[in-house]
Amino acid sequence: MIKTDEGIVVLESRPGIEFENGGVLNPACVEKDGLIHMFYRAVGKGNFSTIGYCQIKDNQVIYQTDKPLLVPEYDYESGGMEDPRITLFEGKYYLLYTAYDGKSALIAYATSPDLKTWDKKGVISAQMSYDRAEDIFRNNKLDRRYGLFEQWYRFAIGDNVKLWEKDAALFPKRIDGKIAMIHRVLPGIQICYFDKFEDLNNEYWEKYLANLDDYIVLDPQEKFEGAYVGGGCVPLETNDGWLLIYHGVNIKNNLRIYHAGAMLLDINDPKKVIGRLPYPLFSPQADWEKQGVVNNVVFPTGAIVKDGLLSIYYGAGDKRIAVKSVIIKDLLEELKK
């Protein structure tokens, strides 16, 4: 059984810094010029989220802004910007994030040539009601849980709630000439392909959702992910395939427990799973993982490979950011079994 190290906390909210006094969590990470550039979800008053920024070297913060780097500016993100993932793709940085308008969660993105100046591009996930999406699902060969989540969201939020989309991450290169993106329609992980971001309109998503069962990478299977799964870190290219670190949630005694999982996808067809761990890569164990704003949460969103070591940055207890490491060769060998 493969194991990570025990992990350490690398970032906590700072007293007196208003935009993050409710917690720091779920970071996007990219390495440039020998530094790890971290874009993290910062939670302030009223559970309102913005995107903070810091630089890390040797797992120590060496620079951090006192104000958020990115803040909501448009109606689609008026309730907050959450859970970013960052990919260097064709010479430009793409930051995908969850845009929350107070009722619905959608996928939006921004781009940058230099990690300093950012240009918001808008929403790219389906902007249709969950009710409409469920009508489409009904003609698919989908797990019945896809319909159950529609019922739950309509009950909890209202009939006009849009199809919730979270946990999107862009592959760092085209696959068979197409841009590829991991995303999550509950309860599974899916992949979509497109030529350009402008193609991601409702016409595209209507056709895509009509065949959603053809694009599922993983539906919940193991006990540790029995409730649902979702994308985690940006897919990492290896000689053995695409390594995807994701999260899985199970419910025990009416409490949700978040775990980190790992799977290896075919390099030419990432919908094909070569291997996956039948157990969590890691789970909440330390007190600071078990206790927080939300208890029992490890939520991996950033991954850096250096000198044969895979470092996974994750939100712990929805309150702080930590990192765990594993020898990547050992993990790949375990996955190939």
pLDDT at 159 exceeding the cut of 90:
no
pLDDT at 140 exceeding the cut of 90:
no
Kindly report which listed range (142-151, 185-194, 214-223) carries the lowest average pLDDT score: 142-151
Checking DSSP bridges between strand 166-170 and strand 119-123, what pairing results, if any?
Answer: unpaired
Q: What is the pLDDT of residue 10?
A: 98
Tell me what the mean pLDDT of segment 314-320 comes to: 98
Distances (CA, A) of 318 to 208, 263, 280, 306: 32, 24, 19, 26
Q: What is the pLDDT of residue 174?
A: 98
Distances (CA, A) of 68 to 49, 52, 94, 234: 10, 5, 18, 23
pLDDT in tens, 26-85: 999 999 999 999 999 999 999 999 999 999 999 999 999 999 999 999 999 999 999 999
Q: DSSP letters of 81-139?
A: EEEEEEEEETTEEEEEEEEE-SS-EEEEEEEESSSSS-EEEEE-S--SBHHHHHHHHTT
SS3 156: helix
**Contact (CB, 8 A) for 105 and 252:** no
| Strands across the sheet containing 179-184 | 166-170, 179-184, 189-194, 216-218
Contacts of 133 (CB under 8 A, 6+ apart): 126, 150, 163, 185, 209
Q: What is the pLDDT of residue 229?
A: 98
How far apart are alpha carbons 170 and 154 in whole angstroms? 29
Q: What is the pLDDT of residue 109?
A: 98
Q: What is the pLDDT of residue 179?
A: 98
**Contact (CB, 8 A) for 87 and 171:** yes
Q: Please report where in the chains the tokens 């649902």 appear, as a residue.
A: 228
Q: What is the pLDDT of residue 138?
A: 86
User: Distance from CA of residue 197 to its chain's centroid?
Assistant: 19
pLDDT at 141 exceeding the cut of 90:
no
Q: What is the pLDDT of residue 252?
A: 87
Q: What is the pLDDT of residue 298?
A: 98
Q: 205: part of which helix (H) or strand (E)?
A: helix 202-210
pLDDT in tens, 267-307: 999 999 999 999 999 999 999 999 999 999 999 999 999 99
Instruction: Give the type of residue at 297.
Output: V
Q: Please report where in the chains the tokens 């949630």 appear, as a residue.
A: 249
Q: What is the pLDDT of residue 139?
A: 82
Q: What is the mean pLDDT of the chain?
A: 96
Buried b (16+ CB within 10 A) or exposed e, 178-193: ebbbbbbbbbbbbbbb
**Structural domains of the chain, with CATH:** 71-336 (2.115.10.20)
Q: 207: part of which helix (H) or strand (E)?
A: helix 202-210
